[in-house]
Amino acid sequence: MKIASVILSFALGLAMTSALQAQTLSDLAGTWLNTQYIDGLKQRFTIMTGTVGKAAPLAVQIPAGKGERIATTVFDGPTKGLGCTLEREKTAKEYVVRLGCGTGDSTRQWIVGIDERRQEYIALYAATDLDAPPAVYGRMPSKNQSLGFILERAVNASLLTGTYQDERGRTFTFRNDQSAVWPDATIRYHVAYDADGTDTDYFTIDGAKSGSTRGYAFERTATTLKIFTLRTVKGRHTRGALIHTLTKR
C-alpha cells in the first residue's frame, strides 16, 4: 500500500454512546497517553472534522453498539492537505493505537503498541490484523511528553529504525534518535512523507561541513530497505535510480 499523506488514528477505549464536543476530550481518560495526545493535538492541530467528512461539525463521534472502536478524532495536519485521525482499539491482547499514513485506497496502516503501565516505549508494527503477530519496525522512549517529539520520532522510527546490510556486506544502521551510522559517516536524518502528492517517501540527511542537506527516496518493507536517488522538479519529489538494496539484520 502507498503513502500519500499522514493519517494518525486513535480510538479511546471508553464505553460511551453519545457524541462529544472537542473541548471535552481531556475528560475522557486519565492515562498519560490519552491526556497528552489529545490535549497536545488540540493545541497543535486545527480540529476540522468528525468521522463523516470535512463538513462535519464534531471532532469526536462515539458510536452506539458494542464495537471496540469507541471514539475517533480527526484533525488538520501540520502540512496543507494532510488529515489526521487518532483511534484507540482493544484487541484480544492489548489496547493499541492505529497509526496510518495515506488517504483512501493509498493508506498504509501501522499498529502502535503502548506500554501504558511503564510508559516507556512506543512500538510500531506493520499489520492489518490487530491480533496477528506484528513485525516490529521500531521502538522509542515515550517519557518525553512533548507531542512534537512523539509524533516526529514515532513516524521516523516506524519506517527506518533498524540495522541493515547491503549487497557487499556493509552495515547501515538507522537509530530511533534520528541518527544513522553508514559505512563512511555518521549522519542525522529526517523522514518526509508524500506531502506533495507524488507518492514518494524520502529522507534527508544533514551535511556535516557544508550545512546543506541531501535527500534520498526509499521503499521500506518488513525485511528490506531500498534507497534511491531523489529527483526534485518544481518542488515535487520523485524516485530516481536505485542506489542500495539493504536487508534487515
187-196 confidence digits (pLDDT tens)? 888 776 554 5
Average pLDDT of 74-94? 45
Residue 94 domain-assigned (yes or no) = yes
169 pLDDT exceeds 90? yes
SS3 229: strand
Residue 88 has pLDDT above 60, yes or no: no
Are residues 156 and 44 part of one domain?
A: yes
Report the pLDDT value the prediction gives residue 171, as an integer from 0 to 100.
Answer: 95
- CA 131, distance to chain mean position in Å, is 19
Distance CA 55, CA 108 (A): 25
Q: How many domains does the chain have?
A: 2
Same domain, yes or no: 167 and 204? yes
> Looking at the structure, do residues 142 and 67 belong to the same domain, yes or no?
yes
Whether 135 and 187 share a structural domain: no
pTM > 0.85: yes or no: no
Q: Which domain holds residue 220?
A: 162-248
Give the Cα separation of 42 and 182 in Å (integer): 38
Q: Are 154 and 170 in the same domain? A: no
- Residue 214 and residue 149 in one domain: no
Sign of CA dihedral 135, 131, 7, 86: negative
Does 191 map to a domain? yes
Residues 101 and 115 in one domain: yes
Same-domain status, 208 and 147: no
